[in-house]
Amino acid sequence: MNFDLSQEHQMIRKSMREFADKVVAPGAIERDRTKEFPKEIFKQLADMGMMGLPFSEEYGGAGADTVSFAIVTEELSRACASTGITYSAHISLGGAPLNLFGTDEQKHKYLTPISTGESFGAFGLTEPNAGSDAGGTQTRAIEDGDDFIINGSKVYITNASYAKHLAITAITDIKDGKKEISAIIVPTDAEGIKVIDNYEKMGLHASNTTELVLENVRVPKANLLGKRGEGFRQFLVTLDGGRIGIGAMAVGIAQAAFDKALKYSKERKQFGKSLSEFQITQFKLADMAMKIELARTMVHKAAWLKDQGRPFTKEASMCKLYASEIAMQIADQAVQIHGGYGYMKEYEVERYMRDAKLLEIGEGTSEVQRMVIAREIGC
Ligand X SMILES: Cc1cc2nc3c(=O)[nH]c(=O)nc-3n(C[C@H](O)[C@H](O)[C@H](O)COP(=O)(O)OP(=O)(O)OC[C@H]3O[C@@H](n4cnc5c(N)ncnc54)[C@H](O)[C@@H]3O)c2cc1C
Active centre residues (catalytic): 363
Residue 152 interacts with ligand X (CB under 6 A): yes or no? no
Residue 327 interacts with ligand X (CB under 6 A): yes or no? no
Nearer to ligand X, 132 or 308 (CB): 132
Residues 229, 172 contacting (CB under 8 angstroms): yes
Residue 126 interacts with ligand X (CB under 6 A): yes or no? yes
Distances (CA, A) of 30 to 36, 52, 171, 261: 8, 28, 42, 21
Beta strand pairing call for 140-144 and 147-158: antiparallel
Draw the binding track, 173-212, toward ligand X (x: CB under 6 A; -: no contact): -------------------------------x----x---
Nearer to ligand X, 54 or 362 (CB): 362
Nearer to ligand X, 115 or 209 (CB): 209
Pick one of 137, 362, 369, 372: the residue that binds ligand X (CB under 6 A). Answer: 362
Residue 166 interacts with ligand X (CB under 6 A): yes or no? no
Residues 96, 115 contacting (CB under 8 angstroms): no
Residue nearest to ligand X (CB): 131
Of 154-162, 256-264, 271-279, 339-347, which part binds ligand X (CB under 6 A)? 154-162
Pick one of 124, 226, 231, 241: the residue that binds ligand X (CB under 6 A). Answer: 124
Closest approach of ligand X to the CB of residue 13, in Å: 26
Residues 334, 235 contacting (CB under 8 angstroms): no
Beta strand pairing call for 193-196 and 165-175: unpaired
Return all residues near 45 (Cβ < 8 A) that are at least 6 apart: 19, 51, 87, 117
Residue 67 interacts with ligand X (CB under 6 A): yes or no? no
Residue 363 interacts with ligand X (CB under 6 A): yes or no? yes
Of 101-109, 118-126, 251-259, 261-269, which part binds ligand X (CB under 6 A)? 118-126
Closest approach of ligand X to the CB of residue 133, in Å: 6
Residue 368 interacts with ligand X (CB under 6 A): yes or no? yes
Return all residues near 165 (Cβ < 8 A) that are at least 6 apart: 110, 119, 185, 186, 187, 188
Q: Cα–Cα distance between 375 and 369 in angstroms, integer?
A: 10
Residue 119 interacts with ligand X (CB under 6 A): yes or no? no
Pick one of 268, 365, 373, 376: the residue that binds ligand X (CB under 6 A). Answer: 365
Residue 158 interacts with ligand X (CB under 6 A): yes or no? yes
Residues that bind ligand X (CB under 6 A): 89, 93, 123-126, 131-132, 156-158, 204, 209, 358, 361-365, 367-368
